[in-house]
């Protein structure tokens, strides 16, 4: 039988969505402390996401131990699959990770090395050396574009989904978690300890007392809307704010919209009348 017609697997070139972990320092201790600080409140934020280590921002002559960075990313449940490098390829190729080509959506390599921003990772199209075609069972009808964790079996959360929007029509209790691949609309209370996550916008027509994370794969245009803001954490594209920083009185407990201005979270009262 010709290997091109094998029913068991297929080897072919392809591209997949991944994230860039852009390295801007050779100080691994500082990097570890910042990564821990940023994601200790949301350990599931990038859990199991594929990530490429981007060293293009390093100055000429600077090197980092890629194996240690890979271990660091693994410790926060990211999955490093390769290294993106240009002038650094000579030493980056010495690591166990393969070199990858990346087509940046936001021009990561074009920014100056000294520029500071609040991003932990940037979404890219990364060219992986080989893509293995899925089996017949993996290409069956996709599951619903939302995930619920911790919901009691006797009182499941109903989800109405389309290609772009997920609707949750029940309150979310502590420990419950919703993930939407597009926009997410929540019609009930998001309690303390509950978490709503979306790759697009989040609309909450009830009090938000838990965590809301919008634009989780780097969508800086995503927004959060809610009718009563009392959150444990709010985040857009990895830039977040917790209750450690008290909210102003004009937005706490009020209808608001939240968006990004450059790398800063903006919270504005909604005028509903």
DSSP state string for 153-175:
TTSPPPEEE-SSEEEE-S-B-TT
pLDDT of residue 94: 87
Long-range contacts (CB closer than 8 Å, 24 or more residues apart) made by 61-70: 62/26, 63/26, 63/88, 63/91, 64/23, 64/26, 64/28, 65/28, 66/92, 66/95, 66/97, 67/95, 67/96, 68/28, 69/21, 69/23, 69/28, 69/31, 70/97
Helix, strand, coil share (%) of the chain residues, nearest 5: 10, 35, 50
Burial code of 95-128, b = ≥16 C-beta within 10 A, e = fewer? bebebbebebeeebeebeeeeeeebbbbbbebbb
Number of C-beta neighbours around residue 38 at 10 A:
17
Interhelix angle 66-75/28-39, rounded to 10 degrees, is 20
Number of alpha carbons in the 13 Å side-chain half-sphere of residue 132? 6
Alpha-carbon span 205 to 194, nearest angstrom: 15
What pLDDT, on a 0 to 100 scale, did the predictor assign at position 158?
Answer: 47
Which pTM value belongs to this model? 0.50
Per-residue pLDDT at 40: 66
**Structural domains present in the chain:** 10-132 (3.30.70.260), 146-269 (2.160.20.70)
Euclidean distance between CA atoms 212 and 196, whole angstroms:
5
DSSP state of 120: S
Q: What's the pLDDT at 216? A: 87
Q: Which of 127, 112, 121, 126 is nearest to 56 (CA)?
A: 112
Which residues of the chain fall short of a pLDDT of 70?
A: 1-5, 15-17, 40-47, 103-163, 273
Report how far apart the first and last C-alpha atoms of the chain are (Å, whole number).
Answer: 71
């Amino acid at each position: 039988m010709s290997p091109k017609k094998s029913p068991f697997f297929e080897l072919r070139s392809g591209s997949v969505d991944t994230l860039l972990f852009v390295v801007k320092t050779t100080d691994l201790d500082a990097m570890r402390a910042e990564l821990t600080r940023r994601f200790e409140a949301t350990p599931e934020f990038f859990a199991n996401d594929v990530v490429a280590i981007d060293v293009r921002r390093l100055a000429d002559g600077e090197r980092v131990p890629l194996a240690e960075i890979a271990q660091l990313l693994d410790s926060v449940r990211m999955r490093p699959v390769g290294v993106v490098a240009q002038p650094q390829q000579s030493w980056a190729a010495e690591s166990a990770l393969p070199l990858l080509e990346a087509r940046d959506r936001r021009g990561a390599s074009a920014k100056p090395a000294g520029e500071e921003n609040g991003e932990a990772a940037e979404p890219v199209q990364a060219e992986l050396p080989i893509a293995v075609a899925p089996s017949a069972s993996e290409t069956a009808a996709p599951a619903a574009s939302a995930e619920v964790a911790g919901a009691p079996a006797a009182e499941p959360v109903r989800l109405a989904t389309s290609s772009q929007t997920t609707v949750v029509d029940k309150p979310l209790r502590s420990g419950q978690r919703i993930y939407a691949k597009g926009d997410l609309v929540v019609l009930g209370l998001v309690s303390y300890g509950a978490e709503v996550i979306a790759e697009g916008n989040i609309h909450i027509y009830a009090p938000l007392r838990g965590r809301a994370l919008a634009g989780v794969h780097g969508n800086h245009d995503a927004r959060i809307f809610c009718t009563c803001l009392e959150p444990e954490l709010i985040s857009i594209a990895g830039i977040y704010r917790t209750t450690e920083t008290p909210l102003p009185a004009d937005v706490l407990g009020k209808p608001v919209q939240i968006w990004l201005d450059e790398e800063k979270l903006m919270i504005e009262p909604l005028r509903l009348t």
